[in-house]
Amino acid sequence: MKRAPFEIAGETVAPGERRIVAINLARLYTHTPLDLEIEVIHGRRDGPVLLVCATIHGDELNGVEICRQLMLHRSLSRLRGTLLVVPVVNIFGFIQHSRYLPDRRDLNRCFPGSERGSLGSRIAHLFHTQVLRRCSHVIDLHTGAIHRSNLPQIRANLDNPAAESMAREFGAPIILDAQLRDGSLRECADQNGIPLILYEAGQALRFDNNAIRGGVRGILNVMRALDMLPALKRPRPALQPAVARSSYWLRAEADGIFRSTLKLGQRVSRGQALGIITTPFSSREMEVTASYAGLIIGRNNIPLVNEGDALYHIARFDTVASAEKRVEAISEEIGAHSLPEEPPTI
């Protein structure tokens, strides 16, 4: 029996067809319409409806390139189910190079939203009702904030078996069992019974090749596990991500100039010096030391810090040594194999 067409935002996409569907979100002051654009790829055969979305924080760019490379991937011609790709959710922020909306709200705190609420609430409502509710699975793409980079990692509610399985299949070096945040897309998906995993990699306003590569591979891995794509002819060795027990932010205890001596992915022991805070004129150096052992999964890149600023995000594990090995193995594997569609970036 022929598969039914996919209906979204008043448009109909036939089986075997792919099309960009636009939903009008708002207008600029200039009266120029702003559309939320979704590439809909409706496979000929039944299967899950996967949403891949990026840039809910408007300055987090790796996800835009991940979406672009995903949409070019040849294997999509054999898609089972339906793939919805939204490279830019927060269009206002994207235009302004900003994480936020013009009213300074965080769109990822506006869900589920309402028709009569703030701008953010209205956009969230539209995305929730017109896009999210049409899906059976979601992968939400993020990066660290401005001046902060993240080691590629998946955040998910591991109590949800479907989300846990997607998190493992994705194959990022680290999995964090993250608390739901009020008003986030992740919480909204959870309330709708839709498993969602969040990929965090790299930093805002920059491209990071390994973060992009790991993102494209991870989405394809999840799609294969969901039987949306055929299995690889030559399967890669199954590498297990390191699942963190918890994580903490190490914060600056003084204002000043910060010199970091450690990079992402490095292992730290309790009490180890990770950098110093000094001032332009003094010889005084304050050591920044780790409160607990773990792996650095996020770090501040700007040397100017105020007391209380987050310097390092450190994940804790039952056995740090084995977590370090897993992270190294996956990071090497991602770094070593470029995708055929990937343009050379230097």
* Site residues (vs Zn ion, CB under 5 A): 57, 60, 142
Least separation, in Å, of the C-beta of 136 and Zn ion?
Answer: 23
The residue assigned the tokens 């204002």 is: 255
57 or 125: CB nearest Zn ion: 57
Least separation, in Å, of the C-beta of 57 and Zn ion?
Answer: 4
- Which element (helix H / strand E) includes 170? helix 161-170
Distance CA 160, CA 198 (A): 14
DSSP output for 286-316: EEEE-SS-EEEEEEE--SEE-TT-EEEEEEE
Least separation, in Å, of the C-beta of 261 and Zn ion?
Answer: 27
DSSP output for 7-61: EETTEEE-TTEEEEEEEEEEE-TTS-EEEEEEEEEE-SEEEEEEEEEE-SSTT--
Least separation, in Å, of the C-beta of 3 and Zn ion?
Answer: 34
Least separation, in Å, of the C-beta of 142 and Zn ion?
Answer: 3
Q: Is residue 169 within 8 Å of residue 225, measured between CB atoms?
A: yes
Least separation, in Å, of the C-beta of 150 and Zn ion?
Answer: 10
43 or 218: CB nearest Zn ion: 218
The two structure tokens encoding residue 61: 């760019």
56 or 327: CB nearest Zn ion: 56
90 or 331: CB nearest Zn ion: 90
**Amino acid of residue 300:** N
**Bridge partners (DSSP) listed for residue 6:** 13
Q: Is residue 268 within 8 Å of residue 295, measured between CB atoms?
A: yes
Q: Which residue is nearest to Zn ion (CB)?
A: 142
145 or 194: CB nearest Zn ion: 145
69 or 184: CB nearest Zn ion: 184
